[in-house]
Structure 1
Amino acid sequence: MILEPSIDKLQTKINSKYTLVTLAAKRARQIQDTKVHQVENPDSATYVGLALEEILEEKLIVHPDYVMPNE
């Protein structure tokens, strides 16, 4: 089983693997809760896959100056 999109493609959009995983996980939970995503013709059937596709299509971005507050 090959995961799509590939980590190599995703790292051209977001350089840090940690940031990539964190962003995808948070976005996947949002998609699961709202059932709304920004990909027109998704290849993925999973929430994480949809989140990764959004990142690849630059529908999600990370602002470099943003710092997560403690929860």
Structure 2
Amino acid sequence: MIEPGINSLLTKVDSRYTLVVATAKRARQLTEGAHKLTECNSDKAVTVAINEINEEKITYIRTKSGIK
């Protein structure tokens, strides 16, 4: 089983879409050399990003309400 679970992660964001986008953007930052904000045993960028979101080390700002 993957930890943290999807239900735990969804309490930190407003939707699955937001979770995917925030994770992907943070993983890209980590791949490009950003420093980890959490103590994580993994070197995989996506795993680190998910743990940072779960520990509320990163946040997001919604810039638009939708496509018009």
Q: TM-score, normalised by structure 2?
A: 0.81
Task: Give 4+ residue runs of structure 1 displaced > 6 Å after superposition.
Answer: none
Partner of 2:29: 30
Residue by residue over 1:1-26, the C-alpha shift from the partner in whole angstroms, topping out at 9 and shown as x without a partner, is x2221111101111200010001001
Residues 26-65 of structure 1: pairs in structure 2 closer than 5 A: 26-39=25-38, 41-64=39-62
What value does the CA root-mean-square deviation take over the aligned residues? 1.5
Query: What is the DSSP-based 3-state SS (H/G/I as helix, E as strand, rest coil) of the residue aligned with 1:42?
Result: coil
1:35, distance to aligned residue in structure 2 (A)? 4.7
One-letter amino acid of the counterpart of residue 54, structure 1: E
Contact 1:4/1:49 (CA < 8 Å) preserved in 2? no
Which structure 2 segments of 5+ residues have no match?
none
Which structure 1 segments of 5+ residues have no match?
none
Between the two proteins, what is the percent identity of the paired residues? 39
Q: 1:35 to 1:62 in 2, by over 3 A?
A: closer
Contact 1:13/1:58 (CA < 8 Å) preserved in 2? yes
Residue by residue over 1:35-54, the C-alpha shift from the partner in whole angstroms, topping out at 9 and shown as x without a partner, is 51100x21433100100100
